[in-house]
């Protein structure tokens, strides 16, 4: 058994103070990443700061954004009619996370702060151009999703900072899609792709975002795929060309689960599927 101090602060300020005062302190939210790490002795914190009692579980729409508290559970993102209506990509992505138990206990903030390079929610957040609210001893700040994930299990958060909320732009008027391939249901994917496509009244792509997961230490946004789409009619040939452009720019590494070449092939196939689905949804929205 690993000995540690346990604290359950009543406010975000108290939690920040505990992190600042104790080197190596760890936050405990849903525990779906931390508890296994403790079990296998991969983490040995001297202090656990339980933040489950903090008021960080709201889902609120304001000024064209949805503000999600860091303690929103995965199952809320999956089941909430509001999230499905305002940010359907999140509901689609989180449905792939683990299993029912993990989605019941796991938290949005916990998944993002853990920053597993194959996790679904970081990929979706980068595709949605979300912004993360963090509070630390030096005050509060916002971090763009594209700058938040630095490397495997590494984020832009300082040691004394807490991720408190995520602001996600409402995607009404755009089509979104999330696809992945895993060895077994519930496993982390070998490759995942999130796509956001907006189509103008002339039927051409006004904006596109394509983000890959599982190929590097952090979500990878594909500028070549996006550039190949913008300003063009999203024909099957154009979508295939965009997916191929994405593949050519990727350099996935080989590991025990799959070769780099296989992952690159999957990336192209899944990008084509995601873009086709997102485009069809965008065209449907436009017609309405």
Cα–Cα distance, 27 to 148 (Å, whole number): 18
Is the pLDDT score of 91 beyond 60? yes
Cα–Cα distance, 190 to 118 (Å, whole number): 7
268: confidence class by pLDDT, cuts 50, 70, 90:
very high
Cα–Cα distance, 269 to 226 (Å, whole number): 16
Q: Supply the pLDDT for residue 22.
A: 85
Which tens digit of pLDDT belongs to each residue from 109-145? 999 999 999 999 999 999 999 999 999 999 999 999 9
At residue 64, φ and ψ (nearest 5 deg) are 75, 10
Q: Supply the pLDDT for residue 2.
A: 67
Identify the three-state secondary structure at position 116: coil
Per-residue burial over 256-270, b = 16 or more CB atoms within 10 Å of its CB, e = otherwise: eebeeeebbebbbbb
Mean pLDDT, range 268-285, rounded to an integer = 95
Domains of the chain (ranges plus CATH)?
5-50 (3.30.43.10), 59-169 (3.30.465.10), 175-287 (3.30.390.50)
């Amino acid at each position: 058994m690993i000995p540690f101090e346990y604290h359950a602060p009543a406010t975000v300020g108290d939690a920040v103070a505990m992190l600042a005062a104790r080197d190596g302190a760890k936050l405990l939210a849903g525990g779906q990443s931390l508890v296994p790490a403790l079990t296998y002795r991969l983490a040995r914190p001297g202090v656990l700061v339980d933040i489950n009692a903090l008021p960080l579980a709201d889902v609120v729409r304001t000024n064209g954004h949805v503000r999600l508290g860091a303690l929103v559970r995965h199952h809320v993102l999956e089941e909430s009619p509001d999230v499905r209506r305002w940010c359907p990509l999140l509901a689609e992505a989180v449905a792939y996370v683990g299993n029912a138990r993990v989605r019941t206990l796991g938290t949005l903030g916990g998944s993002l702060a853990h920053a597993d390079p194959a996790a679904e929610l970081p990929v979706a957040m980068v595709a949605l151009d979300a912004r993360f609210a963090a509070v630390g001893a030096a005050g509060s700040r916002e971090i763009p999703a594209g700058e938040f994930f630095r490397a495997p299990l590494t984020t832009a958060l300082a040691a004394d900072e807490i991720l408190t909320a995520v602001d996600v732009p409402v995607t009404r008027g755009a089509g979104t899609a999330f696809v992945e391939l895993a060895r077994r249901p519930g496993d982390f994917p070998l490759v995942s792709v999130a796509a956001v496509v907006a189509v103008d009244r002339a039927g051409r792509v006004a904006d596109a975002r394509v983000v890959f997961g599982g190929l590097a230490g952090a979500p990878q946004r594909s500028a070549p795929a996006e550039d190949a789409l913008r300003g063009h009619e999203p024909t099957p040939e154009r979508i295939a060309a965009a997916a191929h452009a994405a593949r050519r720019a990727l350099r996935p590494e080989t590991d025990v689960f799959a070769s780099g070449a296989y992952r690159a092939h999957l990336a192209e196939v899944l990008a084509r599927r995601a873009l086709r689905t997102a485009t069809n949804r965008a065209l449907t929205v436009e017609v309405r």
